[in-house]
Amino acid sequence: MKLIANTKSLQSKERVKIQKKINYVSTIFTISLLIPVLAFLLFYFKLIPSKGLSYPDIESAVARITTGSKGGTAFLVSPTIMLTARHVVEDLPIGAEVSIFFEKSPSQLQVTGKVLYYIPNPDSASSSKNITYFLSDFAVIEIPETDEIIPLSLGDSDGVQNLAEVILVGYPIGDYSITIGNINSDSYQGQDLFKLDATSNPGNSGGPCILKEDFSVIGILVGGSAVADQGENVALKINNVLDFLSGTSVSLD
């Protein structure tokens, strides 16, 4: 009788051990399935900022653009599409060619781009630009498809808070530059433009205003001391660019 009792006790202990192992394996398996789902939800709802890009990536995606008579900055938003400021290319007709030089790309890529779209200058008869000119100061450039450079991601300019840190990348006076500053205001002279204190100079026009928090583009630099107080610059909000393009056949994909 004693032997039978011991045998049953051993069997019971063995079953408990086996059940514990099964529970452990089941828990590990369940966690391994849930982690990717949880990570997706956290990034989707922006509870964790995604930093898929690095500083070299954002530098690579920004190029120097020359039209023959003017120079400025443009940046890649898809494998074939770039954005810049209208006043960099408005002396050219739609379809005209421009030179694009990705100075910081791995192969220092140089391509010929085509002016795909811009809104005609409302102040074309005047050499001076009213502040409202900058509300539509953007242009779309098309280039041959490239898989060498990661395009910049477009952010949500409506959600940007005052004092948010931003990065400006561009080619002032033809030389590469990257500077950091802050959004001072979400309006300028009563207009729907970002006012920022990051340093820029002529040639920075058309470059991206990048939110440092997640490296997304929230604006296009369109003006410096010529339209703003000394040390302050103006950026066209990216949501406004998308609104303009929503009524056209131009796609940034």
Residue 236 binned pLDDT confidence (cut-offs 50, 70, 90): very high
Overall average pLDDT of the 13-25 stretch: 71
Task: Judge whether 176 and 136 are in contact, CB under 8 Å.
Answer: no
Portion of the chain with pLDDT greater than 70, in percent:
80
Which of these, 144, 150, 160, lies nearest to 58 by C-alpha position? 150
Residue 71 tokens read as 């120079």
What's the CA gap between 102 and 134, in Å, rounded?
25
pLDDT at 8: 61
The 8-class DSSP code of residue 175 comes to: S
| H/E element, 13 | helix 2-44
For residue 140, give the nearest of 94, 187, 100 by alpha carbon. Answer: 94
pLDDT at 54: 79
pLDDT digits (tens, 9 = 90+) for 71-102: 999 999 999 999 999 999 999 999 999 999 99
DSSP 150: P
- pLDDT exceeds 80 at position 205: yes
Contact 168, 204 (CB under 8 A): yes
pTM here is 0.77
Q: For domain 157-246, which architecture applies?
A: Beta Barrel (2.40)
124-142 pLDDT, tens digit per residue, is 544 457 888 999 999 999 9
Which band of pLDDT confidence, cut at 50, 70 and 90, is reported for residue 39?
low
Alpha-carbon distance 206 to 245, whole Å?
A: 17
Q: What per-residue confidence (pLDDT) applies to 65?
A: 97
**Token duo for residue 164:** 């948010």
Q: Where in the chain are the domains? A: 55-142, 157-246
DSSP 136: G
SS3 state at 198: coil
Are 55-142 and 157-246 equal in CATH topology?
yes
Topology at the third CATH level for domain 55-142: Thrombin, subunit H (2.40.10)
